């Protein structure tokens, strides 16, 4: 199947299923995720220990696996947005986008003139070190770059429609723990107030033809959220998937393999 880009994915209703990478920097990570069927990956700089050098390295690993990649940067600051893009991020995710004004500034940081004020550096990581006509490169980068705005506060929900209406914002992404905490119901994802907030954001995305995303901890939640209007379904993350698989396997083995120790000759006592 031909590789899909993030630009091809955003704004469509069909499900895009990916995962977070917050712990494991390994040369095979892009190919591992690709072979597992992942549509995209999110590299996290907000809550992980990844710095820009690590992200640059990991983006090369993702390119080797033809894995479309979003980098979640730690702030809205120009240097975080522009550097992640210069390192080759196809998409960027911004935490705590609270207003259309903030979202508009983020778009300006991410886009080259005339759409924004991103500084120009060519024949570096983002254009794979290739020469070429300058204006063509800038237009291509502006088309390619996708922006995921995280909705994580009460004010973000109130501003959801204005944020979704902006050109350059491609997906509104619920940060469920922060949003629930902002609403005074931390971790209560079945609470009517929380569900109403998600529904408000979903309507804004549908009205303006934008994608709608969220991290989900398990398959059951992912299916339910897809039915509720989410199209970017982010299934767990590297550390949690490994931890859950190890706990399940080791727990099952311990239930059976207990109280029986081998003798020196290898026979069970």
Tokens of 71: 């980098």
Handedness of CA 102, 108, 111, 117 (dihedral sign): negative
Q: Find the length of the chain.
A: 269
Tokens of 104: 């508009």
For the chain, the C-alpha Rg in angstroms (whole number) is 21
Angle at 45 between CA 227 and CA 8, to 5 degrees: 45
Q: Are the beta carbons of 133 and 173 closer than 8 angstroms? A: no
Cα within 13 Å of Cα(177), Cβ side? 4
| Residues belonging to the active site | 47
Q: Are the beta carbons of 247 and 234 closer than 8 angstroms? A: no
- Rounded CA gap, 52 and 166, in Å? 28
Q: Are the beta carbons of 117 and 157 closer than 8 angstroms? A: no
């Amino acid at each position: 199947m031909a590789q899909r880009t993030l630009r091809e994915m955003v704004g469509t209703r069909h499900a895009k299923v990916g995962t977070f990478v917050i712990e494991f920097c390994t040369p095979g990570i892009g190919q591992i995720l690709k072979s597992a069927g992942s549509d995209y990956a999110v590299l996290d700089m907000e809550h992980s220990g990844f710095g820009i050098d690590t992200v640059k390295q990991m983006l090369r690993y993702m390119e080797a696996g033809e894995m479309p990649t979003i980098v979640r940067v730690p702030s809205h600051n120009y240097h975080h947005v522009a550097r992640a893009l210069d390192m080759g991020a196809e998409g960027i995710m911004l935490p705590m986008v609270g207003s259309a004004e903030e979202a508009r500034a983020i778009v300006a940081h991410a886009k080259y003139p005339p759409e924004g004020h991103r500084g120009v550096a060519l024949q570096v990581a983002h254009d794979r070190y290739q020469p070429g006509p300058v204006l063509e490169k800038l237009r291509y980068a502006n088309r390619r770059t996708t922006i995921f705005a995280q909705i994580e506060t009460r004010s973000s929900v109130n501003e959801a429609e204005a944020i979704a209406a902006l050109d350059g914002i491609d997906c509104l992404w619920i940060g469920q723990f922060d949003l629930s905490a902002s609403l005074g119901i931390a971790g209560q994802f079945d609470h009517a107030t929380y569900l109403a907030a998600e529904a408000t954001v979903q309507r804004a995305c549908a009205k303006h033809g934008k994608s709608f995303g969220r991290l989900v901890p398990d398959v059951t939640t992912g299916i339910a959220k897809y039915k509720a209007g989410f199209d970017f379904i982010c299934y767990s993350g590297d550390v949690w998937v490994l931890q859950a698989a190890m706990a399940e396997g080791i727990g099952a083995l311990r239930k059976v393999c207990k109280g029986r120790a081998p003798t020196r000759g290898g026979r069970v006592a």
